[in-house]
Amino acid sequence: MSHVVVAVDLFLVRLPLARPFTTSSHTKTHLDHILVRVRDRDGAVGWGECASPSDPYYCAETVGTCWHLLEDFLVPALIGRAWATPDEAARAWTKVRGNRFAKAGIDMACWDLAARARGEPLARLLGGERREILSGVSLGIEPTVDGLLAEVERHLAHGYRRIKVKIGPGRDLAYLRAVRERWPDVPLMADANSAYRLDDPAHLAALDALDELGLTMIEQPLDADDIVDHARLQRRLATAICLDESIHGADDARRAIALGSCRIVNIKVSRVGGLGEARRVHDVCVAAGIPVWCGGMHEFGIGRAANVAISSLPGFTIPGDVSGSDKAYPLDIVEPPIRAPGGAIAVPWDRPGIGHEPDEARIRAHCLRHVALG
């Protein structure tokens, strides 16, 4: 089956978060993501989501750079070009360096289109196996320790299988110790978003102390692109290091594993430039015996459904940050909404593509900017 994309819509959509979310670098109350709709000459449609943050604090990209890349480079390179598989479609933009969040939005739309055109669920097209995926939550830095304990309690009561807590220097031990004391056995981890440095003795002391808490892993403690210091730190700690920001694709995963910079990898579809590359990172890790889990960027329903599909691959053995949409948003833009009753999300094996229908009226109601290309 061959596809030629003839029309692409970009929608910049704003959704309010259910609760403000604070990381080591900043606080958010709403998110703006670009939704990408592709249509081929036979009328088949696919949806993707570009989950770049609006600011360059997590990665170098922003919503503005993604819009520019999509409108001026990625969409024009795809339109009118014949392809049979999404990996072939992605060759349209191999010349474009970096800009992986922008690429992920249009890559995902091509995967959804290919799966829908074949009447197949996305999970099957990707080579997934699981009927359901186990779901964890990522909790932001709360103003008080008691505030964090209340959030952990609420999400454990919902059934979530693993708790991740954001940390930063000075906002680490008191929080994690309190959670550990109250729930000695809960799978618990910390995500530092690159806030620590090995040459700061206070930072090193905090990391050593966290090492005593029996955490499942510590995510991205050091610089975003530093796999050398991460290797030094991994030799020092008993706790597994998991890399997030440092891994932009399969080659990065291979190098980090070879250096001993981590024992676990967080795979984010957006960060690595799409579903094809996410699968290649998965394959590199499985071959090396490194467990992976699916990270998130507070995706709306489209990106979240893609996260569910990739999480059905066999190497995703650790519950991910793929929570129900209601963890992040009071109202999502897909039907049915994604839910995680008892901390598990059913993979929609009986529905084609991402398995959730974008609600165009709702998308347009929350849309800040739209362009039709092609």
Residue of 249, 236, 217 lying closest to 317 (CA atoms):
217
In whole angstroms, give the CA distance from residue 164 to residue 213: 13
Cβ-proximal residues to 75 (8 Å cutoff; 6+ apart), any chain: 8, 10, 106, 373, 374
- List alpha helices for 45-164, DSSP H: 63-69, 75-78, 86-90, 100-117, 122-126, 145-158
Name the site residues for ligand OSB (rule: CB under 6 A).
Answer: 58, 138, 191, 193, 244, 295-298, 321, 323
| CB closest to ligand OSB, residue no | 296
Examine residue 61 and tell whether it contacts Mg ion (CB under 5 A).
no
Closest CB 141 distance from ligand OSB, rounded Å? 11
211: amino acid identity, one letter: D
Contact (Cβ atoms closer than 8 angstroms) between residue 311 and residue 125:
no
Closest CB 119 distance from ligand OSB, rounded Å? 29
- 75 vs 323, beta carbon nearer Mg ion: 323
* Total of chain residues touching Mg ion, rule CB under 5 A: 3
Examine residue 244 and tell whether it contacts Mg ion (CB under 5 A).
yes
Pick from Mg ion, ligand OSB, none: which does 239 bind, CB < 5 to 8 A by kind?
none
Examine residue 299 and tell whether it contacts Mg ion (CB under 5 A).
no
Cβ-proximal residues to 86 (8 Å cutoff; 6+ apart), any chain: 107, 110, 111, 114, 125, 274, 275, 276
For residue 72, count CB atoms less than 10 angstroms from its CB and return exposed for 0-12, middle for 13-18, buried for 19 or more: exposed
In whole angstroms, give the CA distance from residue 16 to residue 353: 26
136: amino acid identity, one letter: G
- 312 vs 325, beta carbon nearer ligand OSB: 325
What's the token pair of residue 60?
A: 């170098």
- 9 vs 244, beta carbon nearer Mg ion: 244
Closest CB 164 distance from ligand OSB, rounded Å? 7
- 37 vs 268, beta carbon nearer Mg ion: 268
Closest CB 372 distance from ligand OSB, rounded Å? 29
Pick from ligand OSB, Mg ion, none: which does 325 bind, CB < 5 to 8 A by kind?
none
3-state secondary structure of 28: strand
Residues 207-236 that bind Mg ion (CB under 5 A): 219
Closest CB 253 distance from Mg ion, rounded Å? 15
Pick from Mg ion, ligand OSB, none: which does 323 bind, CB < 5 to 8 A by kind?
ligand OSB
Among 191, 226, 277, 332, binds Mg ion (CB under 5 A): 191
Pick from Mg ion, ligand OSB, none: which does 9 bind, CB < 5 to 8 A by kind?
none
In the 8-state DSSP scheme, what is residue 343?
Answer: G
3-state secondary structure of 158: helix
| CB closest to Mg ion, residue no | 244
In whole angstroms, give the CA distance from residue 8 to residue 36: 7
- 168 vs 295, beta carbon nearer ligand OSB: 295
Active site residue 164: no
- 265 vs 363, beta carbon nearer Mg ion: 265
Tokens 């669920």, residue located: 121
Cβ-proximal residues to 199 (8 Å cutoff; 6+ apart), any chain: none
Pick from Mg ion, ligand OSB, none: which does 196 bind, CB < 5 to 8 A by kind?
none
Residue of 330, 350, 247 lying closest to 294 (CA atoms):
247
Task: Check 103, 164, 166, 327 and give the catalytic one.
Answer: 166
| Interface contacts to Mg ion, rule CB under 5 A | 191, 219, 244
Would you name the residues annotated as active-site residues?
166, 268
